[in-house]
Amino acid sequence: MANINKLNPDVLEVKYKYKKGFEAWVLLTADHHWDNPHCDRELLKKHHEQAKEKNALICCFGDLFCAMQGKGDRRGNKSDLREEHKQGNYLDTLVDTAHDWYTPYAHNYLIMSEGNHETGVYKYHETDILQRLVSSINGSEKSKIEKGKYNGWLYFRFEHEAGGHTKTIKLKYQHGYGGGGPVTKGTIQTNRRAVYLPDANIIVSGHIHERWEMDICRERANTCGTISLDDQRHIQLPTYKEEYLLSAGYHIETGRPPKPLGGCWLHFYTTAREIKYRTFWAD
């Protein structure tokens, strides 16, 4: 596995030594909504088990919890409670049961970061359920899961075992915002982000429960006067919550379309002594 360091509160460094034939895997996910009855836990478990088989790192970029059934939450609907969460200490029960479900993957998890559902609980109930989950798992398993903020950076650094060859691939994550748009599905954000995030190689977001990836080709000029082209990859992560097949509810009543489910694999590998990466969907 990689050597992981926290460079500052917003940047997590993942360092690898590599040689010919090297490969490393990262499972990129968001919007598990794990406690929602409509979370496809079978699919979620399938992808987590695949990550264990690949010795992959796992990232969840926000809304691991749904957590909308707390007292006074206007979004709440008691029919959206799982049986095990129908308790007076609802938020405590969410943390305890999530601990049991996610603990088998403790040593694969790199980061669990905030989404609007977690920040909403913190705002109205004055408790950080994501930090409580991370601290609980780390305390019992001696793991080192990072609790991330709403956005931040992952630096994947690669150094050849023989020395002399290094490469850093910078990933910017941001849980997301807005509704995505029924036609554009949030793709209009790619050109905006390419402008204000010029140093990112990969930009990942969730929130709108859409699935797409898009490359923005850029002209680059280094200090020696060399001109080159590169691609900045934008990845929009889907969800694990299936609401379209219901006969009623918020998703249906507001005319929301079907949403894709799953995550995204980030695969690092070598060609000769050069590090490359590819991405493809975990369906």
Read off the pLDDT of residues 141-153 as tens digits, 9 standing for 90 and up.
999 999 999 999 9
Domain count, the chain: 1
Question: What CATH code is carried by the domain that includes residue 231?
Answer: 3.60.21
Domain that holds residue 192: 3-282
**Predicted TM-score of the model (pTM):** 0.93
Taking only the tens place, the pLDDT of each residue in 105-149 is 999 999 999 999 999 999 999 999 999 999 999 999 999 999 999
More confident residue, 70 or 169: 169
Q: Are 168 and 18 in contact (CB under 8 A)?
A: no
| Res. 268: pLDDT tops 90 | yes
Q: How far apart are CA 135 and CA 129, in angstroms?
A: 10
Q: How far apart are CA 100 and CA 146, in angstroms?
A: 18
Paired sense of beta strands 166-174 and 202-205, if any? parallel
Predicted local confidence at residue 119, as pLDDT: 96
